[in-house]
Chains A and B, each alone.
Chain A
Amino acid sequence: MQRRIPVSIAAVASLGIGAFSANTLADPSPEDAKDYRQAVMSSLGGHVKAISLHVRGLVDYDGYLAKHAEALALSASEIEQIFPAGSNVGDSEALPAIWDDPDAFAEAVAQLKEATAAFADATASGDEAAMGSAFRDVGKACKGCHDRFRKDDD
């Protein structure tokens, strides 16, 4: 499962280059960068929700648990690029700590990448106990990062 992710990234990247000229992609406006990152972060939530319904045995759409797990890992692998300096603008819950303490943020993101990749592997294995525990680790990584780097505004 993990092996396929870089291929998917390459596919997405080449699509991007095909559709736009390279320099429009180079530097999005801060507002666009913020919109994009919020879209990616929401998609993570969507996949997690879909996965949770599978994991709890409430739905069983053949094969799609693994696909959501893969998509989740793909979105997670994108996070390190979608918080460019200067994009802390507008209506956003991102805390300045993301940019003030980049090493700590990178570590938290690395943890999520690892957890989502491990979860994708677990779904591929079909071992339910391993899946449950790997999914809890994904949740922990989400919480851990939100705890330090997102405004608690619920």
Chain B
Amino acid sequence: MTIERSAAGGRALCCAAVLCLLTTAADAAGQDLVERGEYLVRAGGCITCHVAEEEGAVPFAGGRAIESPFGTFYSPNITPDEETGIGSWSDEDFLNAFWNGVNPDGDHYFPAFPYTSYTGITREDLLAMKAYLFSLEPVRQPNKEHDLSVLLSSRLAAGLWKRRYFEPGRFEPDPDQSREWNRGAYLVRHLGHCGECHTPRSRFGALERDRALTGNPDGPEGDKVPNITADPEDGIGEWSTRDIEYFLESGMLPDGDFAGGAMADVIDEGTSHLTDADRHAIAVYLKSLTPPP
């Protein structure tokens, strides 16, 4: 009896200990996931659009005006507020938005949300990003309606556009290239969505992929966006990988100048927070890009 009882007690104690260990492990894993997600959200440059311009605006609550040749878009609230944010989204909803450019109601997103690049992000990375966003304080802030030209103001137009110009699909590493090249390709083409500004667009706003990263004379906010292929004249062929890494870390150009404009935000909010290894991978990938003839 005593033995039994003590055995049962021991078992209970043991179970409690295991349970406790398991929860701690789960908490730690959850914490790791959130931290990984935070890093990826940084690399994805989410905050540069999903915060209003005003001083003191809440990060990720949206409201930033994004001017384009097609009208003004307002970034939505991506805090986990159930009604005005993305708090009610399932994992599948989240994946579907990034991979297919579709919201939980089945409506098409305008490509101001760069799912054209984000479609390549892995499931694992997206779910980490979701875990981070869902760990934030929910902010109640209704989204602002986009202000678009009449022809485009329908989500149907976005659907037609997608059918013609959008190719969904995950990133496929190139087995002939190094690990760091592939990491750089993933960061540049998909998560960092560099091409959304640095690749020229057709008059229908489609990225001209055969001229990827060769610069955009009419970029966001009407700015001219530079060529970042290895072209020695127009591009950054004269920059060393170290120059590129230091630029992404500090914003300093190889001649000691500091760029302003949208790239300054990308550096402050995004690339300056990356690991040295990731900045190096980006540099290795960019240096490998030969400009089209």
Contacts and interface: CB of A to CB of B under 8 A. Distances in A.
Interface in A102-154: 136, 139, 142-148, 150, 152-154
Interface of A: 44-50, 52, 56, 136, 139, 142-148, 150, 152-154
B210 to A, nearest CB: 23
A45 B259 contact: no
Interface stretch (B5-13, B18-26, B145-153, B250-258): B250-258
Nearest to A153: B224
B252 A48 contact: yes
B251 A139 contact: yes
Most buried by A among B223, B254, B258, B264: B258
Nearest to A152: B261
Contact of A143 (B223, B226, B254, B258): B258
Given A52-B246, A153-B224, A45 B256 contact: yes
Interface of B: 223-224, 226, 246, 250-261, 264
Among the interface residues A136, A143, A146, A150, which one has the most CB atoms of the partner chain B within 10 A? A143
A139 B252 CA distance: 7
Contacts of B258: 48, 139, 142-143, 146
B255 A45 contact: yes
Given A52-B250, A146-B261, A147-B261, 11 more contacts: A45-B256, A46-B256, A52-B252, A139-B250, A139-B252, A139-B258, A143-B260, A145-B260, A146-B258, A148-B260, A150-B260
Nearest to A48: B256
Contacts of B257: 45, 48, 142, 146
Given A52-B250, A152-B223, A152-B224, A143 B259 contact: yes
